[in-house]
Amino acid sequence: MTDPFAHFQEWMTDAEKTEPSDPNAMTVVTATPDGKPSARTILLKGTDPRGFVFYTNKQSRKADELAANGHVFLLFFWKSLGRQIRIEGVVEHVTDAEADAYYATRPRASRLGAWASDQSRPLATRAELERRLADYDAKYPGEDIPRPPHWSGYRVLPSYFEFWQNMEFRLHDRTIYIPTPGGGWTTGKLFP
């Protein structure tokens, strides 16, 4: 296979058939301005020929780190398949139209939660979050809940892929994809 996006889609399709929960879960690794790594697991919400899309509060820790250093690392791990995919790249913001379209598909409580949560900020008690959620529920009683200005998405533009397949005796199969000048990808193998 010469297209890492097609390879990714093939493995994601397999994961969707076998993973019991959230086959689109991925670890997103960012770095603080002084270079300390920071990781969390979130959900992939879209792919296109340019990259991999996720959404978040733009005032969150991950967004602060991405503003300071746009390099990012994604890791998909499917234990039931004995597979993982590592993706390195940089982020760009999705368009407002993309963010609006995705936001509109979210459950009502999730849309209200985007307003109520000061993501990554200290929370005194759970009751405070529940009160804020009730306040926004009253403010937006129907389905028409606008997207908060502080909530949007990022697209990871990949510059490196590694597909790892578990094999017997720890002789794993590792396939890499590196971009070529002018477009396309070069493939190769790594020792396990």
Q: Output the pLDDT for position 49.
A: 92
Sign of CA dihedral 66, 150, 45, 4: negative
Q: From the candidates 40, 155, 170, 174, give the one annotated as an active-site residue.
A: 170
- Specify whether 126 is catalytic: no
**Domains of the chain from N-terminus onward:** 4-106+149-190 (2.30.110.10)
Q: Which residues contact 104 (CB under 8 A, 6 or more apart)?
A: 147
pTM exceeds 0.85, yes or no = yes
pLDDT tens figures, 82-91: 999 999 999 9
Give the pairing type, strands 151-165 and 51-57: antiparallel
Q: What digits encode the pLDDT tens for the residues 149-188?
A: 999 999 999 999 999 999 999 999 999 999 999 889 999 9
